Each structure stands twice: as structure tokens, then as C-alpha cells.
Amino acid sequence: MNLIKSTGTFSFFTIISRILGYLRDILIAIFLGTSFLADVFFVAFRIPNTFRRLFSEGTFNAAFVPSYSSELVKGEAKSNRFANEVFNLLFLVLLALVLVVQIFMPIFVSLIAPGFIDDHEKMNIAINLTRITFPFLLLVSLASFFSAILNSHNRFAEAAAAPIILNIILITILFFAKLFGDKLVYILSFGVTFAGFIQLLFLFFFVKKYFKLELILKFKISNKVKFFFNKLLPSIFSSGVTQINILIGTIIASFQASAVSFLYYADRIYQINLAVAGIAISVVILPQLSKHIANKNKKKIDLIQNKALELSLFLSLPASIALLIASDEIISALFGYGQFDEISVTNSAKALFYFSIGLPAFAMMKVFSNFFFANHDTKTPFYISLISVLLNVLISVYYFRSIGFIIIPIATTISSWFNLLILFFFLQKRSLFSFSNLFVKRFIKIVFSSILMGLFFNYLVILFNEELLFENSFKSFYLILSVILGLGFYLIVSYLIKAFQLEDIKLKY
């Protein structure tokens, strides 16, 4: 396997999905802005979308791939039997969960958006919309199961391309938004669930080559399947800690008008980089790292771990600096149209600024967690993540009354850096990871390249100050131009000082 090539393949489709996701969100911003309907839809969409991220962005892989890879070594029959047992149990559990939540939806919505309770209209719409979107949880979780099988066979493109379906369907609906009026949020919600069904069919078409599905509706739990499910819940929590923190932030933010929307739009921006710098890398390295750990190939293990961390920093550090420098200009250029006014831009930009401080931590957490997962250890990251989430909740709740919604990205960032440091401590303590001399040299060069890029990007923002103003109709063009020039400058500097070398692209792992 070639780490950069495989990451590039996964990242290409992920970036296409994120770009389409941005187009979807700018259309939502134009038609809904940060109105109460936007808040209600984002709450209804946040739950299935959070589970999509939890399951499809490497979390399910963390538990499944090492176990499935171990069975693959023993032959196709055993791996297929194991996969079918997991699928059937997963299907029954998720189906039961969806049915129970549908019955008790008013209580469920009260828990995820307690700030809506006093507003009966807002609450009723939120309940109705969440009822429509919630089946997406079942569909996307099963789709993630198929993705994990494909990833285990080093097929990354199909799994990365699947989320594009959701964005295409929602964008299509939004193009006809004026026809739907106030019913737009309902049509969008139906679109979410329909997209989950199409996504499942899309992945099933590709996975048939590697997996023969046998639907047996009974609880059959072998020791191997028990072991897998014992790993699954901790891996969902630990690998998806950033998404869990954001979900908690949404719950707390529901007490302040429009705060859910401010956080949602800020979240959309930094998630584009996180998809590549953290998620893509962690998904790609896990199958090979699991195999090398099983074979006790220390040289390959060290090589993959150091290269994964190096690539994560190479991508996340300059992005974090750019977001810190131009958070206002970025939000304004990407979303500042239609119902999305200057106050919305200012508040979303504040959230983006504090989220961006945590971006390198969000990315490296995904990579560090996979070092544990590849060793069949999901409990250590789970306990660390649990403490991190509790820290996030304590900070958010304690300061929310005095500071407002802005404490949520601050608390998320603080808890994420805490999480990363504790993960690193335990990796060192258990001798599961060590820095290579080459990594240390590259890290210094990456930091230097990122600082130079930051200075150059800041100059571009000042140079195009007038063109990037909120009132300017072509501000997005100048932002894209600045990003392209800044990225080009960063790559040239990195190449000249050897923070990145072309030989890395051809290196096999």
C-alpha cells in the first residue's frame, strides 16, 4: 500500500463531498439563514449526521477492520461468516433503537435540544423533523459496515464517494426551495433519509465482490462477535469524541437563539480539512497497520505511524493558521449571502476562530487513537475520551451563562488538546509509539513552512481587504484566489526546504 496515494484517493472523494456539502450549506444559509427554522432543521439533521460521521468516518473501522483482517488471513469462508454475524446483530440492534426512539421522540428531542422546550412551535417542528431523519441512522450505519469491508480490502474510493449522494440529493431539493416555502425543512428531512437508502444500495453494489450477505434475523453471538461488539462502543465514543463534543455543544447552544446555526456553519469549515488531515489518514493506515502489528513487523509499524503523524501535521497545521488569520473573511465569503447577515458572519467567525485552534489536535487524535485500535485496544482511548467529554461539559455549562455560545468551541478545543496529550502519554508509557529522527526533522520544517505561509496569507488578506468586505459580491473569488496562492506558496516552500519530498509519494507501506 502507498500511504500518500491511498490517502489521496480517499481525500479526493471526501473533498468533493465536502465541497458539495458547502454548496448545500450556502443554499441553506441563503434560504434559511440563522432563523428558528434553520435551528430546528440543524437539530434534526445533527443527530443522523453525527452518527454518519461517527460510523462512516473511521469509527466503525476502528473496531471492525482489525477483527475482520484477522479472519481474512484464515480464509474467505471464516471472514464471511464473521461479517454476516456482525451485520445481522447490528441490523437488529439498530432497528430496535430506531423504533424505540420513534415512539419516545418527544422525550428524545427534549434531551438533545432542551432549549426548545419552552417554545412549543419550535419543539413540535423539531419532533416531526427528527422523526423523518432518524431512520438515516440505521441506513448509514449499515452502509458504514459495507465501507469497512471495502476498506479492509484496500478499496477506499467507493466508501469515500458514498456521502456525496446525500449532498447531491439535498442540493437538488434546495434548487427548488422557492416551490416548497415553509415546507422546505420537511422536504430536506425526507431527502436525508432517502439519501441514506440510496447510499446503502450504492455500497452494496461494490461490496458484493468481497462479501456474501446472508440475512438471518436472530441473535447469534459467537465469542469473536462478542469481542468485536465489546470493542465497538468504546471505539465509537473514543474515535468520534470530536463529534460527540460538537453534539453536546449543540444541546447546550439550543438555549441561545441562533447559536446552533452559528456553530453549525463554523463546524462545516474546519471539517473540510479534518476530513483529510485526520479522518482520511486514520482510515487508510488502519488495515495495513493492523496487519503489520499481527505480524510483529516493528520496522513497518514505526514507518507507518511516523508518516501518518507527519502527513496529518503537514495538512492540519497550515490550515489552522489560515483559519486563525482569516476566520471573518472566510465565513463572510462562503456564507455571507441572502438571509445570512453580518451578525451571523461575526458570530460564526468567532466560533470558527476557536475551533481552528483545536484543528491539529482534532486531526492527531484520530491518528493516535488508531495506534491503539490496531492493537485491539479500544478501552484506553474510550476512558480518555470520557474524561475529555466531561471536561468539555463542565467548562461549557459553567461559563455558558456569562460568555454565551462562544464557550462551546473554546471548551471543545481545550478538551481536545487535553485528550491528545493523554493519548500520547499512554502511547509512550506502553511503548506503542516513538518518534523517528526523520519525523523530528520534518516536524521542524513543517512548522517553519506553516509560519511563512501564514505571513504570506495574512499579506494577501490585507492586500484584498476591500474585495473581501461583506458587501462585495465577488468576495468568494478573492478568498479562493488567496487560498490557492497561499497553498501554492506553502507547497513550494515545503519542497525547497524538504519538509516534503516527491519520493514520499512512491514509498510503499
Convert the pLDDT of each residue in 8-40 to its tens digit: 677 777 778 878 887 887 787 777 765 667 778
Q: Helices 223-239 and 59-74 meet at what angle, rounded to 10?
A: 150
Query: What pTM does this model have?
Result: 0.75
List the Cα angle 101/260/397 in 5-degree steps.
85
Quote the cell numbers at residue 124.
Answer: 413540535
Q: Do residues 32 and 38 make contact, with C-beta atoms less than 8 angstroms apart?
A: yes
Q: What is the pLDDT of residues 221-245, one digit of tens each?
A: 777 777 777 777 777 666 666 667 7
Question: Is residue 475 predicted with pLDDT exceeding 60?
Answer: yes
Q: Which of 122-131, 188-197, 324-333, 477-486 has the lowest mean pLDDT?
A: 122-131
Residue 66 C-beta-side C-alpha neighbours within 13 Å: 26
Question: Is residue 1 predicted with pLDDT exceeding 60?
Answer: no
Top pLDDT among 111 and 410 is at: 410
Distance CA 288, CA 7 (A): 13
215: phi then psi, degrees, rounded to nearest 5 = -85, 110
Sign of CA dihedral 168, 170, 174, 180: positive
Q: Do residues 241 and 388 make contact, with C-beta atoms less than 8 angstroms apart?
A: yes
Q: What is the pLDDT of residues 383-401, one digit of tens each?
A: 898 899 899 889 998 998 8
Domain range list for the chain: 3-323+341-435
Top pLDDT among 198 and 67 is at: 198
pLDDT interval class at 54 (50, 70, 90): low
Distance CA 207, CA 148 (A): 10
Query: What DSSP designation does 426 have?
Result: H
Average pLDDT over residues 377-381: 83
In 3D space, the residue among 187, 235, 192 whose CA is nearest the CA of residue 366 turns out to be: 235
Highest mean pLDDT among 265-279, 330-344, 391-405: 391-405
- Residue 33: which region, alpha, beta or left (left: phi > 0; alpha: psi -120 to 50)? left
Residues for the chain: how many in total?
A: 509
Amino acid 30: pLDDT = 78
Question: Is residue 57 predicted with pLDDT exceeding 60?
Answer: no
CA distances for 503 relative to 2, 238, 289, 444, angstroms: 11, 34, 21, 19
Q: Which of 30-34, 308-312, 406-410 has the lowest mean pLDDT?
A: 30-34
Highest mean pLDDT among 32-46, 290-304, 325-339: 325-339
What percent of the chain is modeled with pLDDT above 90? 26
